[in-house]
Amino acid sequence: GENVEQHPSTLSVQEGDSAVIKCTYSDSASNYFPWYKQELGKGPQLIIDIRSNVGEKKDQRIAVTLNKTAKHFSLHITETQPEDSAVYFCAATLSWGFKTIFGAGTRLFVKA
Amino acid sequence: DAGVTQSPTHLIKTRGQHVTLRCSPISGHKSVSWYQQVLGQGPQFIFQYYEKEERGRGNFPDRFSARQFPNYSSELNVNALLLGDSALYLCASSTRDRDEKLFFGSGTQLSVL
């Protein structure tokens, strides 16, 4: 069935370092891969996304890469700041669009 | 513009009771989805509604039901509550039924005792 695996579950970095979160999806029909950031007491917020016809996308300090052959995609955050501390979820949406499958989340700690 | 609003923010129920959760989407959004988020896990898809019709259903028992109203707001109903139903229930809206970009509310924290 549909599944998204996410690693690591916890990540601690020093302010200014880079952080990388990796995900693997199972359903080859997935064609949209969003990343969400969830802060305490709030719902997930979309921070960046990538479609299956694109290999890489960047938005300021955040970048995503997609390897559709290997069914891997990753989130890269450069020059991390304390306000980047949150739980990050990768997700995959099937081509018919109504259902998004989320990974289990990565809790990122950025130490000042 | 207001984001997705959910009510109530917190709720405590006992086993066997029934609960109704409410969601108002972003103005102009016609699709509403419901997700369940158990502590320490990612959100799990329950339902999607578009133009008052159910477009998708996740792997949840029939105790879970939902509906969407003409103003695009939505209700999630859960009957015969179990301890395992304790979770954060998230509502997300999107512009149309096949728009994958989800805008989430802050959720309703349901505790079943």
Query: For A37-67, what is each residue's pLDDT tens digit?
Result: 999 999 999 999 998 888 999 999 999 999 9
The residue type at B84 = G
The residue type at B57 = R
**Chain B partners of A32 at a C-beta cutoff of 8 Å?**
100
Residue A95 has pLDDT above 80, yes or no: no
- Tell me the CA distances in angstroms from A37 to A4, B20, B59, B84, one per residue in order: 16, 27, 25, 25
Q: Poorest-confidence range of A8-12, A64-68, B100-104?
A: B100-104
Residue of B nearest to A90 (CA): B42
pLDDT band at B102 (very low <50, low <70, confident <90, very high): very high
Query: For B3-50, what is each residue's pLDDT tens digit?
Result: 999 999 999 999 999 999 999 999 999 999 999 999 999 999 999 998
Average pLDDT, stretch A20-37? 94
